[in-house]
Amino acid sequence: MSEVRYRDLGETLFIKMFGYSPKLRILDIFLDNPYFDFSKSEVVRELGMSKQTFYKNFKDLEELEIVKPS
């Protein structure tokens, strides 16, 4: 059985309603999987996002205290 990736599942309702920006995509993966503790590299891989884009946007979300690394 092949593994289903987050990015292969299509757009969630959150993304359809609020847009496809990098910050929203990062938030979406956490909202869609509330019981998982992802590493940053796992999020980058699952979103198919460049590391540079991820780290810039994740830093902004940290500064706003929306996400907190564990």
The pLDDT tens digits of the residues spanning 30-70 come to 998 888 889 999 999 999 999 999 999 999 999 999 998 87
What whole-number distance in Å separates Cα of residue 20 and Cα of residue 70?
A: 25
Residue located via tokens 């309702």: 13
Whether residue 20 contacts residue 29, with contact meaning beta carbons closer than 8 Å, is answered with no
Enclosing domain of residue 26: 10-63
Domain count, the chain: 1
pTM to 2 decimal places? 0.82
Q: How many CA atoms within 13 Å lie on the side-chain side of 47?
A: 29
In a domain, 16, yes or no: yes
User: What is the model's pLDDT at position 34?
Assistant: 87
User: What is the model's pLDDT at position 48?
Assistant: 92
**Between 4 and 47, residue with greater pLDDT:** 47
Residue 35 sits in a domain whose CATH number is: 1.10.10
